[in-house]
Amino acid sequence: MRFYPMIINGQPVTADARFGVINPASGEVFAEVAQGSAAHVDQAVAAAQAAFPAWSAMPDGERQRLLHELGNALEAHMPELMELVTRESGKPLNGLNGVGAGMEVGGAIAWTHVTADLDLPVEVIQDNDEARVEVHRKPLGVVGSITPWNWPLLIAVWHVIPALRAGNTVLIKPSEYTPLATLRFVELANGLLPPGVLNVVTGGAEVGAAMATHPGIAKIVFTGSTETGRRIMQSAAGNLKRLTLELGGNDAGIVLPDVDVKAVAPQLLAATLHNNGQTCACLKRLYVHDSIYEPLCAELARLAEAAVVGDGLQPETQLGPLQNREQLAVVEALADDARNRGARVLCGGRRLPGGGYFYAPTVIADAEDGMRVVDEEQFGPLVPVIRYGDVDDAIARANASDNGLGGSLWSADPVRAGELARRLECGTVWVNEHGAVQPDAPFGGVKQSGIGVEFGRHGLAEYTSLQTVKVMKRR
């Protein structure tokens, strides 16, 4: 069984203890990783602090060149990284609608190159005979990244590459469920970057807590649950850390009565079962007009029943297992609660046999606001379909949530849908698609779905501080 060490200051670092990484398709441990501690966080922060002056002072074009080289290295190792992602997360190599490990690694490559080409030019506020006033963007120092298990490599890249591009150094802690692709990414990066620029400490809550309170970390970027985000905010108050938090989502989609049911159903199912439902910004509440409710429910169920569920290493697999046993139990409880409260389970609604964490894709008709499966983020292959008669009412119900990550409108009239979409209270809204993000467009949540944005120039700016420079020309 292979052992994976941490990487601090460009060197492999072991620990007294180890923990196992489970393949969710089998429920069995297939790798071991060093169990980091608060002392390792101290060591990694010291290495990042020592590397910061030279890295931040490096010519901008040289940092760009190194990040492009890192993108090329990811591409050269794409098959290896895809297999690691599949084995630790359960995500199929290919996946339903192309959402699989190939998409994750390909996205990581694309995000690296696009972000490497972003810049934040000096802004000139005033330039006259009296004075010149400029606004500069400066790196913060050491950035701490804490990533989740659902998109382990892609979200690591989302955190790390803009931090490095802006001139910061980084300590990353991947989820203890899925550390392997991130460890390999950091190893590849350390073959190109100066020692200490990118460090990784593996472990559980102790490591994350040590990072959130560490006085040497200037910013935390975190993707995960709202509950954990609140704890990080509280812990970060000691030295007023900057924060970017992408937290839970319970995205609503509203289907207008003018759609072609047969044409829209595959798109809706792909949006709801994106990564087996284990994506913050996948469609989790589907509001469908009375006039097309029953035929659309029936078509969704037919398509869901036909989806191929299995080990992600098999090329024909479309949906893999849930990533961990705890999440499987959550999904099962939500489906059982809906059934017990009168909802119709049109397909699925059960665990699948075998040693892995498999749950059948499930379409739930007659779901209602107030049911757990509607009010809570499922993070699994559950599709609650809620009936509505008036679009104003549907928008009000969609907005009646503490979350505000994404939302969508589906219609044959994209102009009208676009007008309605802007009434949704969420950070990103889509028309006739859901969950598609891109490296040049900002993405983030409102309400309790987060603070700050990622991607593009707006996301890059979050890894910097402003400095205004005023030079008087007259005395």
Task: Give average pLDDT by consecutive 10-residue segment, the chain, 475 residues.
Answer: 97 98 98 98 99 98 98 98 98 97 98 98 97 98 98 98 98 98 98 98 98 98 96 96 97 98 98 97 98 98 98 98 98 98 98 95 98 98 98 98 98 98 98 97 97 98 98 88
Count the helix, strand and coil residues of the chain and give each as a percent rounded to the nearest 5: 40, 25, 35
pLDDT computed for residue 252 by the predictor: 98
- Which of the 8 DSSP states describes residue 14? -
End-to-end CA distance of the chain: 72
Tens-digit pLDDT profile for residues 108-153: 999 999 999 999 999 999 999 999 999 999 999 999 999 999 999 9
Of residues 187, 280, 347, 377, which has the active-site annotation? Answer: 280
Which among 394, 170, 143, 129 is positioned nearest to 286, based on CA atoms? 394
Cα 48 to Cα 53: distance, rounded to the nearest angstrom: 10
**Cβ contact 46:216 at 8 Å:** yes
How far apart, in whole angstroms, are the C-alpha atoms of residue 366 and residue 359?
21
In this prediction, residue 425 carries a pLDDT of: 98
**pLDDT of 224:** 96
Identify the sign of the CA torsion 413, 416, 419, 425: negative
The class that CATH gives domain 2-247 is alpha beta
pLDDT at 354: 87
pLDDT at 236: 96
Q: What is the pLDDT of residues 220-246, one digit of tens each?
A: 999 999 999 999 999 999 999 999 999
Instruction: Name the helix (H) or strand (E) containing 253.
Output: strand 251-255
Supply the CATH classification number for the domain 251-431: 3.40.309.10
Domain boundaries of the chain, sorted by first residue? 2-247, 251-431
User: Contact, 38 vs 149, CB < 8 A?
Assistant: no
What does the pLDDT read at residue 474? 80
pTM of the model: 0.97
To the query of whether residue 280 is one of the catalytic residues in this protein, the response is yes
Among 187, 246, 299, 332, the one annotated catalytic? 246
**Range 246-264 burial, b when 16+ CB lie within 10 A, else e:** bbbbbbbbbbbeebebeeb
